[in-house]
Structures are given as structure tokens and as C-alpha cells.
Amino acid sequence: MCGSGVRALRYLAQAGADFVWANDASDALHPVIVGNFSRFEPVPPEGQRRWVVSHLDATRLLAERYLRREYFDVIDVDSFGSEAEYIRAAFLALKIGGLLYLTSTDWRSARGYGGKCHITFCSLSSLSSYGAYIRPVPYPNEIGLRMLLGGAAREAAMLGFHIEPVFSYYAYHGPIFRAMDATSITVVGPLWTGPLHDRSSITEMLNLAVEWGWAHTSENGVTLEKLLGTMIEESDPRLPPGYIRLDEIASRAKVNSPPLGTLIHSLQKEGYAACRSHIGANAVKTNCPISSCIVVAREIRNLR
């Protein structure tokens, strides 16, 4: 899972971790991973190790740590495709109060693709991996995050644990298009419906980013400072799952798309919770019904 080992190495080099265990199932990567770690710190003698490299199935590695009662403060599961099969083993090997990072590129499940259920169209992949019925919706990327969080919450509950999402991030992964015929409304879920982030943790991350000089680093034209600021706004517990695209509001209102900032300010003035979405750049997260968003958009047009 660790690939070249660079991400694991950052825990030592930048986060100051006391010890890092880097694992990838492919032993062909061993020289690359060891080489990268050795550039930061030479291969340590036995008993003084700050890092270890292994090539085991992730479930086996985590289960062995659990059986030996060797628990981790942080476990970073960065799998190819779905990480669902590793979640339970990761929780078992994690210290109480520890952090579990989950990365998924399982876009088919998040978008409701991957087969047909016997009753109606839904993703058999999401059902088998996460125990959730997922159908195509206008905000599939956020549904993907909530599907993953919901699956993790259920796995934790079965072990007698409770989880609290600290940080949820969607990264753009290329254009995907799918034409769908209109069908009757069906249920989607179960999903995580609470806040995607913990406001205090994100605020602390932002303060550290400023302190360490990372605030103005950017990806896809968005600075880290702006991204974390948006996530702080997204942490409002009043906000429901999903977001509404501006072009959808404009199309229904039969007006030009209102400026995003103006729309958010107008919704907040009406007493609604509203903010930008870090997932959809041209979208608003709000507890305002779309029918009222249409009215507000028309009012904005009349004022311009």
C-alpha cells in the first residue's frame, strides 16, 4: 500500500513520528522503499529502529500486531480501489483514541455503478463492500465520503467502538460521464450524515499550516489555507449531506448563475446555513430547500 514509501517517510521527516512501519504487498518495491527511507535515516541497528519495511497482506500485518498487542497511534490505509476489507483489522490494531486514515479510489461504488440489485438499479459493489445502497445522485463525490464513513462507523460499532470524523477530503480524479434515464425515487444508504470534519481539529491544522509556512501551498489552484477554511465552514452541524450546483439553481430559476459568494451571503441573510463545498467548486452547501434557493437567485438577478 505504501508504494514508493514517500508518504510513509513524511511521517518521520515532517511529522516527527517516533516509529513508522511501511508495508506494501509487492516485494519488488523493497529496494525503492528502503532507498527512500535510508536517504533520511540510515538503516538502523536492531533494537534502535525508527522504521521498518515489510511486504505482507495488510490484513495479516494488522492482525498480527493486534494479536501481539502492538497497537499503532496512526494507521494510514491507502489501498488501490476499495479499502473496505481492511477497515476492521485496522480498528483492531489501532490504539484507543488513535487516528485511522482511509483512502479510496472506488468511484464505481460511490456513483451507484457496479451491477443491478434484483429490485432496482443500485451498486452491488457498494452493497457488498460498505453495506449501503447507492444510486446515482447529483453529488456523488460527497456520497462517496459518507459511504466510506458510514462503513467505518458500522465496523467500529461491531467492535464496540465509536468514531468521530476529523477530516474528510475529496480529490478530483478526472472527468467521468454517465447518461441516466429518469426513474422513481429510491432510498440511498445507510450513510454517515453528520459533519464531515471536526471544526477544532481543522482549525488546529490551519494554525499549524500558517506556523509551518504551508498555508499558501496550492493544488489545482486552491491554497491549503483556503481549503482548510472551507472545511471549517463545512463543519457546521446544520448542513445536510450533499450540495447544490449553481448551474442547477440557474437552470430551474431561468436566470444566469448568481455569483457564489453573493448567493451564500443572501442565504445566510435569510437565516440559512450556507457555505462553499470543497468537493464541488461551483456548488453551495446549505440547509435551504432548492425551491427557496431558486427564489433567492431570482431576487439576486433583480438587484443586479
What pLDDT was estimated at residue 283? 95
Which residues in the chain show pLDDT less than 70?
Answer: 43-47, 81, 107-108, 110-124, 173-187, 303-304
Helices (H), 103-174: 107-110, 124-130, 140-158
What pLDDT was estimated at residue 119? 46
What pLDDT was estimated at residue 64? 95
Per-residue CA distances from 63 to 32, 68, 71, 75, 86 (Å): 26, 9, 10, 13, 10
Collect all residues with Cβ–Cβ distance below 8 Å to 147 and sequence separation of at least 6.
109, 110, 126, 130, 132, 134, 191, 192
What pLDDT was estimated at residue 116? 54
Asked if 122 and 133 count as a contact pair (C-beta separation under 8 A), the reply is yes
What pLDDT was estimated at residue 118? 47
Look up residue 69 and give its amino acid.
R
* Phi, psi at 219, each rounded to 5°: -140, 130
d(CA 152, CA 165): 10
Query: Facing residues of 218 across strands?
Result: 223
d(CA 251, CA 168): 30
What pLDDT was estimated at residue 44? 60
192-202 residue pLDDT tens = 899 999 999 99
d(CA 105, CA 144): 10
CATH level 3 topology of 244-303: Phenylalanyl-tRNA Synthetase; Chain B, domain 1 (3.30.56)
Residue in the structure block whose three cell numbers are 482548510: 228
Domain locations in the chain as residue ranges? 196-235, 244-303
What pLDDT was estimated at residue 182? 56
Tell me the whole-structure pTM to 2 decimals. 0.68
CB half-sphere exposure, 17, CA atoms < 13 A: 21
d(CA 299, CA 287): 19
* Exposure string for 241-271, b = 16+ CB within 10 A, e = fewer: bbbbbbebbbeebebebbebeebbebbeeee
CB atoms within 10 A of CB 217: 12
